[in-house]
Amino acid sequence: MDDMLSDLYAIPSPEQLDIRKASIISTDSYTDEKHDFFPLGLKQKEPNFGLLFDIDGVLLRGSTPIPEAILAMDLLKGRNGKLRVPIAFVTNACGDAQAKVDQLSSIFKIDLEPEQVIFAPSPFQSFMHWHDKRVLVVGQGDMKAIAEGLGFTCVYTMEQVAEAYPLLDMVNHDNRKTVAKGYKENNDFPQIEAIVLMGEPIQWEMYLQLLIDLLLTNGKPDHKPDVMPKSHLPVLACNMDLLFMAQACMPRFGHGAFLVCLESLYERVTGYPLKYTALVGKPSEITYRFSEHILSKTAKRMGITRPLRKIYFFGDNPEVDILGANLYNMYLRRYRRLSGGREVSAPEQGQLDKKAAVASSRTVPPDAAFLPQTARGVESILVQTGVYKPGDRELRRSKPLHCHRDFTGATDLILPSFEATNVLEGIKLLLVEEYFDPKLP
């Protein structure tokens, strides 16, 4: 057994791995059961854990695979070449799931379902209360098709709003010339019931103006409110990243920057803070709960009978990936404490989700059709192949610099459970810690 393990995985010592671990003992977040860091042998015949991966900076750089990532995926396969561990991919992008599945399947030679690629807006699938509302969707690309794919049935775009109310878009000087020649408002345009912000638009100034108009008029911008409202239309948003790293030499503004502008303008105009009905995408606990649900579905599809007990999250950004994993780990602790460690029915699960949440915008929707919550903890693994570089700044207890205002907490939330040079080293480590050899029958 030991010879086979050495030849197959070539698992080195902790010093050779160059992995800085929070402690040499792994502690279950609920039971406090302790496990030896390096066991004598791998014992599990079936995994009771699942893996979540950020994509860019962990597995790929742009469209190019990181070489160690290919080897890491090979370690998770059985002798028949099929994955033995349930996995999913979590990204704050917004795109075509099937196209991403085709790309990842081709690179890593694995079978995937589209649901295993979790984009920032993917959890909106579970917001069934809003699916039949008249929603305005904001973002780039075919947002209407994306929203309808998530379950929304009555979708409108900002272009439709601007066409119905041509006088509202006065930051566009060309539009001023157009309406000067004559215009017609469509007063029959339906009242918007909710705003869904999926990504930053192209014309920020026009979108900000019209979004404020809709918020001030409860979705019907055909009048000036007599007084500034204390409440506003429901706002659901995803992807709070203030900055993102692309090919430029400096970080670029992300959707989080657009949200900051909207929040600031709304509060400056009304005197009241903008309130979100829901925030999804990393680091929201809603996204991690949705991801656990997908892992459980994947495990069932693979024929795994053991319930999911631990989740490992591989990320390259301490203030997004690691923060989210640690926030969800804290959520699980609260959830297990409230439930007494027992599995609960669907109605009771919804009640516990609400009690375990720390902010209304981060609460799992009560009507979400999720599989039972079974994970007891999350281990976050920070790799050095993307945003985070050890030489950039010391990773220490500190408040996240670019965190959205609705995500505040303890100063240790950006510290990972493990730090690894690359995803391959992290996979080697967790397979030993979990007593699991995918190559054994």
| pLDDT band with cut points at 50, 70 and 90 for residue 387 | confident
Of 215, 207, 221, 248, residue with least CA distance to 233: 215
- Give SS3 for 130: helix
pLDDT at 327: 93
Structure tokens at 154: 């009555």
Q: Is the pLDDT of residue 9 over 50?
A: no
Per-residue pLDDT tens for 51-62? Answer: 999 999 999 988
Q: What angle do CA 75, 320, 107 make, to 5 degrees?
A: 35
CATH architecture of 124-280: 3-Layer(aba) Sandwich (3.40)
Listed range (142-151, 234-243, 249-258) with the worst mean pLDDT: 249-258
Whether residue 77 contacts residue 436, with contact meaning beta carbons closer than 8 Å, is answered with: no
Q: Which helix (H) or strand (E) holds 210?
A: helix 204-216
Q: Which long-range contacts (CB under 8 A, 24 or more apart) does 219-225 make?
A: 219/134, 219/136, 219/191, 219/192, 219/193, 220/191, 220/192, 221/161, 221/165, 221/168, 222/165, 222/185, 222/187
φ, ψ dihedrals at 330, nearest 5°: -65, -40
2-120+285-433 and 124-280: identical CATH topology: yes
User: Can you point out the beta strands (E) in 217-319?
Assistant: 235-238, 243-244, 252-253, 278-280, 310-315
CA–CA separation, 408 vs 413, rounded Å? Answer: 9
pLDDT at 398: 63
Average pLDDT over residues 269-295: 96
DSSP 101-112: HHHHHHHHT---
pLDDT tens per residue across span 164-214: 998 888 777 677 767 656 677 788 999 999 999 999 999 999 999 999 999
pLDDT tier, 358 (very low <50, low <70, confident <90, very high otherwise) = confident
pLDDT, average across residues 366-374:
90
Q: Which homologous superfamily is 2-120+285-433 in?
A: HAD superfamily/HAD-like (3.40.50.1000)
Q: How far apart are CA 31 and CA 40, in angstroms?
A: 23
Quick one: pLDDT at residue 400? 65
With 80 as the cut, is the pLDDT of residue 14 above it?
Answer: no
Residue 390 has pLDDT above 90, yes or no: no
Spans of all domains in the chain: 2-120+285-433, 124-280
SS3 289: helix
Amino acid identity of residue 332, one-letter, is L
- The whole-number pLDDT of residue 309 equals 95
Which one, of 207, 365, 337, 212, lies nearest residue 274 by Cα?
212
- In 3-state terms, what secondary structure has residue 138? strand
Pairing outcome for strands 418-420 and 20-21 = antiparallel
Contact 321, 54 (CB under 8 A): yes
